[in-house]
Structure 1
């Protein structure tokens, strides 16, 4: 072969080798690109799943804390009512509500009358008794009637003072507990809103700027 022909064959071989190397480089680049895309998609799914899990975990924690506070208040009210019932001799398991109320009233009257009797006999007075401060009325009889004298017997009773009645109706202890509960609820809602804002801010940042780059790319060696 002539020198020109040899030169042409050599150039053809070099061109073929260059084509093969270029094809190999393109294939490797495509493979790396596919890997990067797959990794980015996997990382995005993991980050979104992590953010959602953290959000749900915060909600579960705040809800559990709220339920615990409610449970404590319920236990306090229940225990207080049981103690009051025990002191007054009221047993809900064996008495109806009506019988319990009657027993409660009689117990109060008996207590006050016992204190009065232990201090001495009841003082007799010609003046009309006053019960502005509350107390117990021992009962008695009186003459009434429109068509001649009629005898009326009044049984023992208990008088509740105006201040005691207002205190009973106001339910100050329960109102105070409810105020405390509302205050704690506002605090929990504030914490929940703060946590939600942090999550939304992070998700918005990822939507605008993209996910953080956790992938370290390596140069492709062409063999």
Structure 2
């Protein structure tokens, strides 16, 4: 199993591991797109950003201010990393818990601290859903507390598990190639192309889910 997962950690030729540098490749792609003459690609990207901005604004409410910017940036950052992982020999940083937890934990902690320090009564009210029978209230408090505490974990695990699952399937199928006949090789190539299309969709969906859930968690503390 260790060898299986080591396929996601390509070794670099230096004593210093440069795998995590792949996180910053997205930054090299963005500047020319924005600073040169507007192209179709930049127009599509701006359209996506404006759609996300409007959606997050609705979720956050009237007093959102510029807080949608960090969530749109989060979406872009995760999506770039997810997509880059689909290219050969590029390290997929989002399939590792160390990165996904680094994104999820500070966000969740900041929401919790802000909520409990500024809207303490509101946060206590959230622990008991409206219309709960008095006898069930202690259990509901326990359930709501646990569901609150596992939020950063579920955010991180959902993203990394979805990234690992598709890549693992593609790696395992690709490794069976040399042992197959010509007819099966053609079938395998078609399967791999379909999986690649699915993984491209998953890359967008998972980054969107991460950003939307972060928005919903932040809207709860106001």
Please indicate the TM-score interval, normalised by the length of the shorter structure.
under 0.3
Bigger relative contact order (CA 8 A; separation at least 6): 2
Larger CA Rg, structure 1 vs 2: 1
TM-score computed with the length of structure 1 as normaliser:
0.26
Higher share in strand: 1
Higher share in helix: 2
